[in-house]
Amino acid sequence: MATYSLVIRRLMICSLTIVVSRAITSPLLTLFLSERLGLNQQDVGLLLGIAVFVATLLGLYGGYVIDRLEKRKLLILAMLSSSVGFVLLTFAHNLYLTTLTLVITEAASALFLIGSKAMISENLPVGLRAKVFSLRYTLTNIGYATGPMLGVLIAGQLPLAPFLIASGIALSSVFLMIGIAPTQRGDDSKQLSFFNTLSTLRSDRTLIMFTCGSLLSTIVHGRYTLYMSQYLLVMYKPDQALNIMSAVLACNAVTVILMQYQIGRFLKREQLRYWICVGTVFFIAGLIGFSYAGSLFSWCVAMFIFTLGEMIIYPAEYLFIDTIAPEALRGSYYGAQNLAAFGGALSPVISGYLLINSTPTSMFYVLSCLTAAGGTLCFLSGRRMRAVAEHVTSV
């Protein structure tokens, strides 16, 4: 990483720290909200779903703003908002204020994600972007793999400490961004209006098809810690659920740290649609494994398979959007693709409904069907991208 510019290095570090700050709280959020607000699993899922839904809509406009304004300041604003949001969650007793706080933290996360990807593309030539996206994803995945495990361990001693630590990590990240030079603002005279930008995005059928496919897949992989914790709390006693969650998160962490680079370095732009199919197959196999898991060992085996799919899908999605996005609308394209985060909003809602109104294991079969449909749409959009590129070349 030392070979990259100061901007890229600090973006990589901030990507890791922001992810860790979120990941520390992710496996605890459902149980925390359930106890503080007196909600059942379906209501907690609905609350989290509403927060992600609103924040994702705001992210679409955030991508447009990122194309026009100074990106560094927007990332600093996102970090400060995350820090404040985590502290406010420790005072969660009122349903409406808690919902507002969740929206703030989710919107800040979306803004940082979109802005950091746009800054990476802006500061690197095309030939180096795939490598840096893979590195960024490696760091991000390490954060998501180790953060929840750390959060569970800390919560066993001090229940509120993970939220305060997450706030401190997000706040400290601000100083890394302050230390880099301001980014250039876009030329407003050459920028489309927001509605004209939306029209441009709507006319790109490849983007729409890929975003729809990503949305269906994100229901499965975007917030898996939430629906897994929901499922475990239904099937096991709280202490057993916590032990299983700790074990599968540890398995996820070890798998990512040992195998992410080996898998990520094989991803090529020309083969993205095939890699997405492979990742989808791993997701389905992992979900079916979860449905049959009865021992700690079987839970870890299923998580290992699921994690293989996760390590393929995330960088493949980044590279796909980077391939089709025009330079002047890169933030807007990332913002549009971020609409796939609606899957994260739907995930706890769907899971909570199925856990209450059906047999618990049916949740995994429904999720398998959804990720299969999502993988199919992504494959078709990849084939369309290839066909368009060949047509342009021939002309």
pLDDT per residue as tens digits for the range 99-155: 888 888 888 988 888 888 888 878 877 667 767 777 787 787 778 777 877 888 887
Residue 392 pLDDT: 47
How far CA 290 is from CA of 90, 287, 372, in Å, comes to 32, 5, 17
Domain ranges of the chain: 6-183+191-394
Cβ-contact 32, 134 below 8 angstroms: no
Q: State the DSSP string of 325-362.
A: --GGGHHHHHHHHGGGGHHHHHHHHHHHHHHHHS-TTH
C-beta neighbour count of 54 within 10 angstroms = 18
Which of 292, 291, 273, 284 has the alpha carbon at shortest distance from 376? 273
The segments of the chain whose pLDDT lies below 70 read: 1-3, 126-127, 130, 181, 183-191, 261, 387-395
- Coil, helix or strand at residue 114: helix
pLDDT of residue 3: 67
Count of beta carbons in the 10 Å neighbourhood of residue 163: 26
State the pLDDT at residue 124: 79
Tell me, which fold does domain 6-183+191-394 have in CATH?
Growth Hormone; Chain: A; (1.20.1250)
By the 8 A CB rule, do 10 and 176 touch? yes
User: Is 39 exposed, middle or buried (CB count within 10 Å of its CB: 0-12, 13-18, 19+)?
Assistant: middle
- Write out pLDDT tens, residues 141-174: 778 777 877 888 887 778 788 889 989 999 998 8
The answer to whether 207 touches 333, Cβ cutoff 8 Å, is yes
